[in-house]
Amino acid sequence: MPILIDLQNVSLQGFDRPLFDDLSLTIQTGDRIGVVGINGAGKSTLLRVISGLQEPDAGALRRAKGVQIGFLEQVPTLPSGTVREALGDGWQVDAALDRLGMFDEVDTQVEHLSGGQLKRVALARIFALSLDVLVLDEPTNHLDLGAIQWLEQQILEFRGAVVLVSHDRFLLDQVTTRMLEIDRGKVFVHAGGYAKLLEAQAIREEQALASEQVRRNLARTELAWLRRGVKARSTKPQARIDAAERLLARRPEALAREGTLDLNITMPRLGTTVIKAHNVSFSYTNDRRVLVDVNLELGPGERVGVVGANGAGKSTLIDLLDQRLVPTSGTVKRGPTVVTSYFEQGNEGYDLNLSVQELVAGPGGKPGSLEDVALMKRFWFTGALTLTKAKDLSGGERRRLQLLLALARRPNVLFLDEPTNDLDLETIRLIEEFLRQWSGTVVVVSHDRTFLSRTTERLLEIHADGTIAEVPGGIDAWILRTNANSSGSSPSREDAFTDANSSASAPRGRQLRDAEKEMTRLERKKRTIGDKILSVSDYREQAKLAEELHSVQMALSAAEERWLALQD
């Protein structure tokens, strides 16, 4: 395949450490490369280098003649004017805007768009352009689940190369052919998707532990031999003894972060009654009813996920349950022992001009107390970072501070509104583990399918008419249903057709019967895989089954189209 971009021995120094060193990477047509690493590792910087917006400190970067690169930043910029003027005309543009929920905003001025709307318009624009390489920085932020499925399909169908940074593990496993991991200035490239990355990380950690044990055993053996032998020698081999002691004293490579994110907190006991919403409806000032006749009861220890299209009222529902909003009609009641905390998107809820330690101390508290220092350390705020003003923190650090402040209230009910935005995968996995062990009640609004699958047991879907319905089977069942309802492209696997060529010349009646049999077979296979996904807890096995399910769904869609064509 044609080489589009070639990086050879590229290095870049960060503010206080190397971001990546001696990186070599070839990007070819058809590549789908996912980039991961902790916040501050240099992921976005690498994307800027690949896009030609930043020069490396060392090494060579070559681009094929005439190659066109599109870069979608985390906070994108668009030309001034209306959305239509920024995007132009064409059915592809209109289809993208419709799927992204932005078709009604074509006459809106770009400067009047919210952050989420800006991201969606920028996505529609970049896929409408004629490009060879797409470089996408957290493209799923501010997208609902339907829009993310559209994005998956666009990436899979794109003819050039795609390089993306994302915390969406489901997306990474669906679309990537290689994973690039930045870890403490080193870069590791793994074939396959996110599941393969996890396998490679586990192997690397095991090898590092084994190598460290071998090193220490060799050093001890050498030192013991030297010390035993010196009495028989006239000349003391001090230089070799010193060398062995240095080898023994040498520490293994420093961790990317000191310690682990410690989210364990004490909380007041929850009674049998937590929160009850009875016949709740809500309208904003324009009289459009966002939520209609909501009846919902949350019990102690429940794990509830909330999904729905952008603007459907997911955040509004949480605001009502947390009593930050008053219902237009109906009532919301909470138990006497309930203490809530809200981890919300797009609004930190704290003074950005205060330092981390001032915010943790709170009004009337003394910044820098021993208790606060211990708490900050558990969330990786140490040293000079504790004195840093919130406005000077990175996006990921702000989100981590926001989580710290939410848990510092010692809640027994947590509302999480898009909690994975701007967090790295390591932090997200630790939050998942915390929620798995935590005994309080959790309500999660998220577009992250993996996060929802691992943290919730009950799923609510908000419909376009403002009503709310339970989704039997949770998020996994919801994914199965929405994938089945979405249109698929031509299948790429053998399940696409059974004896299609041999039956093409058969009588029309027989072709119809064959198509019906094929649809029945694929429907049965889809249900079988769906049942397996719901019964399997291992993420890697889920990823394999999801890939198989995607193939079957594509084949089923093609079979249905063939059946419809024969009916005409």
Tens of pLDDT along the chain (568 residues)?
Answer: 789 999 999 998 876 677 888 889 999 999 999 999 887 788 889 999 999 999 999 999 999 999 999 999 988 888 889 999 888 887 778 888 888 888 888 899 988 887 778 888 999 989 988 899 999 999 998 888 888 888 998 999 999 999 999 988 889 988 999 999 888 778 888 888 887 787 777 777 676 666 666 666 666 665 565 556 544 444 545 665 566 556 555 555 544 444 455 556 667 788 888 999 999 999 987 667 899 999 999 999 899 999 988 888 999 999 999 999 999 999 999 999 999 999 877 656 778 899 999 998 888 888 888 888 887 887 788 888 899 998 888 777 787 888 888 887 788 999 999 888 877 787 788 788 888 878 899 999 998 888 898 889 899 999 989 999 998 888 877 777 766 665 443 333 333 333 334 344 445 566 666 676 677 777 777 777 777 776 766 656 766 777 777 777 777 777 776 766 666 5
In a 3-state reduction of DSSP, which class is residue 250? coil
- Give me the pLDDT at residue 537, please: 67
What is the C-alpha separation between 357 and 409, in angstroms, rounded? 15
- Give me the pLDDT at residue 347, please: 57
- Give me the pLDDT at residue 71, please: 95
Residue 542 belongs to some domain of the structure: yes
Mark whether 180 and 228 lie in a shared domain: no
What is the C-alpha separation between 305 and 123, in angstroms, rounded? 26
The token pair that represents 226 in the structure block? 């030297």
Mark whether 29 and 176 lie in a shared domain: yes
What is the C-alpha separation between 418 and 407, in angstroms, rounded? 16
What is the C-alpha separation between 86 and 95, in angstroms, rounded? 16
Residue 453 belongs to some domain of the structure: no
43 vs 49, 50, 427, 476, CA distance in Å? Answer: 10, 11, 15, 30
Where a domain ends, among 209, 227, 249?
249
- Give me the pLDDT at residue 567, please: 60
- Give me the pLDDT at residue 335, please: 92
CATH number at residue 131: 3.40.50.300
- Give me the pLDDT at residue 525, please: 78
Mark whether 78 and 205 lie in a shared domain: no
Residue 285 belongs to some domain of the structure: no
- Give me the pLDDT at residue 262, please: 55
Within 8 A by CB and 6+ apart from 83, the residues are 97, 102, 105, 106, 107, 108, 110, 113, 121
Residue 463 belongs to some domain of the structure: no
Mark whether 142 and 245 lie in a shared domain: no
- Give me the pLDDT at residue 114, please: 79
Mark whether 161 and 217 lie in a shared domain: no
Is 11:21 a contact under the CB 8 Å cutoff?
yes
Residue 330 belongs to some domain of the structure: no
Per-residue DSSP letter, 471: -
What is the C-alpha separation between 227 and 424, in angstroms, rounded? 48
Where a domain ends, among 147, 177, 194?
194
Mark whether 66 and 175 lie in a shared domain: yes
Where a domain ends, among 148, 177, 194?
194
Q: Angle at the Cα of 408 (from 403 to 409), degrees rounded to 5? A: 110
Mark whether 184 and 241 lie in a shared domain: no
Q: Which structural domain range is residue 74 located in?
A: 3-194
Which of 145, 210, 120, 226 shows the shortest CA–CA distance to 451?
A: 145
Mark whether 29 and 142 lie in a shared domain: yes
Residue 245 belongs to some domain of the structure: yes
pTM of the model: 0.68
Mark whether 74 and 163 lie in a shared domain: yes
The token pair that represents 311 in the structure block? 């603007």
Residue 236 belongs to some domain of the structure: yes
- Give me the pLDDT at residue 487, please: 43
Residue 8 belongs to some domain of the structure: yes
How many domains, in total, are found in the chain? 3
Mark whether 84 and 23 lie in a shared domain: yes
Mark whether 234 and 178 lie in a shared domain: no
Mark whether 190 and 203 lie in a shared domain: no
